[in-house]
Structure 1
Amino acid sequence: MKRGRLIKGIGGFYYVDVDGETYECKARGIFRQMKITPLVGDYVEISITDEQKKLGVMEKIMERSTELIRPTVANVNQAIIVFAVTQPEPNIMLLDRFLVLAESEELEVVICFNKVDLLAEEDYLPIVDRYRAIGYKVLLTSVKRDVGIADLKEVLIGNTSVFAGPSGVGKSTLLNKVHPELQLKTGEISVKTARGKHTTRHAELIAIEKNSWVVDTPGFSALSLDFMEAEDLALYFPEFNEYREECKFSSCQHIDEPKCGIKNALQKNLIAEERHNSYQQFLQEIKSNRRF
């Protein structure tokens, strides 16, 4: 038996990385009987049926630490949320939505503000400072000027990371800069999976260093908060935590209630107004989704 990591699954075949070697595996029928679906990112045990051809059978799936739904991938521990400082202009409420989703999955979060070569520092630092004040790790990057690339590489080491962010912010360009072989590999995968009936893009793990993986997928493909309960939303705004205990009512939703610790902190500029605006909009969205 060998232990490895499931990096790709296509058409009933599962590709498992074992110390840099990839084995094509079928899964035991017991998984289907138990209604267990192997997920990209799973740590698994396989038995080898043909060492020369690198063929095997998946025998066991280890317990998962996390399980994302969209993208469908297991054991991710970190989200790299990428926004450009300009071209396109950063949509702060969308950034906050990504952050809430990452927080709800209990992922470590790194915010990456890209294309800093296109804007004067004083024009983007207020946004950067706002999120650093919350406690988020914030990277500033530029592929053209090779700014922040070493910092990005560093946060990827030892983690399984999913990149998220709107289109046009430079996620793929950053990844290719961090790992130059990635662009060639992605091209090869695209050609391979475009043949026959396997035209759907599947989540895939790509090794960038030993024990360091990136999920090759567009990131969070669904941004709906409809799975969330209204009373839980405030938990995903980390800067609210120290003030929630000052609320008079345990059921306080921090909008119109009297003696609200979060509203008091907002008035004292201890919480950014933009963040509270995002919270209010998300809360209304969740409540609207609960109306049947």
Structure 2
Amino acid sequence: MTHDAQQLAEESLTRRVLASFAGTPDDRLREVMQSLVTHLHAFIRDVRLTEAEWQAGIDFLTGCGHITDDRRQEFILLSDVLGASMQTITVANPVDGRITESTVFGPFFVEDSPRIPLGGDIAGGAPGQPCWVQGRVTDVAGNPVPGARVEVWEADEDGFYDVQYGDERVAGRAHLFTDDDGRYRFWGLTPTPYPIPHDGPVGRMLAAVNRSPVRAAHLHFMVTAPGLRTLVTHIFVEGDPQLAAGDSVFGVKDSLISAFDVQPAGTPTPDGRDLGGRDWARAEFDIVLAPADA
């Protein structure tokens, strides 16, 4: 328990800082800034933060900035591992059992992915087990959504996205459009668990608190269509041991776990593709989009 005078001094400071935002013209900005100050000051007072700890926090955030570039976003990683990304998504997407659930965007999305035709291959030469993925995009009434843009991206079997290769190759990402019946289909790779980048400040933080950087195996989707709400989601691999061990960014939702059924070598593929005697997998993922104003 702090001395009464000490408590009054701390409370007085918080009031003065809150008052400094009272003249903010934008109501929403004022609300956000005053709430931020309230909770930040409460945190500092709750843990009795020392000046050395404050400096360590500043150094940590500075390190996040220094390692961030156009191919790596350390602040998104930080938001992800603290559960802030998933909490923002949870708040922004009210629970509605009729629509496909959202999950984290992640730090590896890249604009201007190549377009592929229906049934095309997103792998781009990345290593991994071939996987046929198909599904249908509908609205909440069950109507097909033709022409929906389906953006997909994933890591290779070694756990690397193309932006981590160190060259300009584009692999494991593409976009395509649904047909008149709202259906999509493509070849990709069977997802495998992988660690988020842990050679920087976020990785050192995870090591310090004895947390694993490993993500459950998943395939990213972003689906957009006029008049409907953009969906950012994953599908996760049923039976992946990492589901029980825990996803480092808290992105798993039960409704997004799908069967990836392995087909023995020589099993005919849906489009007659010759896989050279390799085994392959297949998965089906139907997507329901919410109205834009939901």
Q: TM-score, normalised by structure 2?
A: 0.22
More helix by share: 1
More strand by share: 1
Higher RCO (CA < 8 A, seq sep 6+): 2
Which of the pair has more CA radius of gyration?
Answer: 2
